[in-house]
Amino acid sequence: MKVKFLGTGTSTGNPEIGCRCEVCTSNDKKDRRLRASVLIGVNGKRILIDCGPDFREQILGEEFTKIHGVLITHEHYDHVGGLDDLRPYCKLGDIEIYSNKIALDSLRARIPYCFNNHPYPGIPVLHLNEVASDKPFLIEGVEVLPINIIHYKLPIYGYRIQDFAYLTDVKHIPEEEYDKLKNLEVLVIDALRIKEHLSHENLEQALENIRRIAPQKAYLIHMSHQIGLHAEVQKDLPENVFLSYDGLELEF
């Protein structure tokens, strides 16, 4: 499996518009974060998790080959705002989108021109697939297991593929979902900032979940400028926990 972090930032991205803090003005490229998304290669298939407003910029440098499925965690704009930019990939085949009913209903309302009875030429051809959280499903032979997560009060999905799990926008993981997260090689998990937040884990809460889930390695995602400088924060993390950064590639 190969995983590339296309974006590792929160909804505003880093630098945040109008901010002159030490993170937003940092010269370290690891402090510059586009909106959160990963591209996974597994068993010859390519799977995208989330497709935010920076997708076009994120994907331009990647090989132009078929995307076999798009996993949507939830309907917030920073996770779905780039779906229209999938249209070039429709030359290689229709795009299959997977998520829960809440997210899919929101997509139908947000980009109705993709789903009306008489679509006009040139629009992205997207097929919405509602998937339940109580059993795995297949994307062209690749097994995907949804993980229920609570983002403030909104039920959203994380996803497990083989020994990799991706959990963004986490505030609470229901007790019964932890069994789905056993024996991970790599866990990617939300850690918005140092201070407590209404709808996201802070760094301390993310580390608590990492200790409980006990993956071999964990990578933090969806970070705001309030997380601090990449180089400084990394020094204080456990040896198996890492700040992700845009462009980071894993192979395992």
User: Per-domain residue ranges for the chain?
Assistant: 2-251
Residues 86-101: tens digit of each pLDDT: 999 999 999 999 999 9
Beta carbons of 97 and 75 less than 8 angstroms apart: no
| Nearest C-alpha neighbor of 148 from the set 174, 116, 124 | 174
Helix (H) or strand (E) holding 110: helix 101-110
Beta carbons of 24 and 15 less than 8 angstroms apart: yes
Average pLDDT (236-249) is 98
Query: For 228, which DSSP code?
Result: -
pLDDT higher than threshold 90 for residue 122: no
pLDDT higher than threshold 90 for residue 183: yes
Average pLDDT (6-28) is 98
b/e map 60-97, b = 16+ CB within 10 Å: eeeeeeebbbbbbbbbbebbbbbbbbbeebbeeeebbb
Place of tokens 């462009």: 247
The Cα–Cα gap between 248 and 162 comes to 20
Beta carbons of 218 and 170 less than 8 angstroms apart: no
Q: Which fold has domain 2-251?
A: Metallo-beta-lactamase; Chain A (3.60.15)
Beta carbons of 7 and 220 less than 8 angstroms apart: no
Prior bond of 15 cis (ω within 30°): yes
For the chain, what percent of residues have pLDDT higher than 90?
97
Which pLDDT score is estimated for 118? 79
The Cα–Cα gap between 6 and 4 comes to 6
| Nearest C-alpha neighbor of 219 from the set 29, 139, 233, 62 | 233
| Nearest C-alpha neighbor of 237 from the set 248, 227, 226 | 227
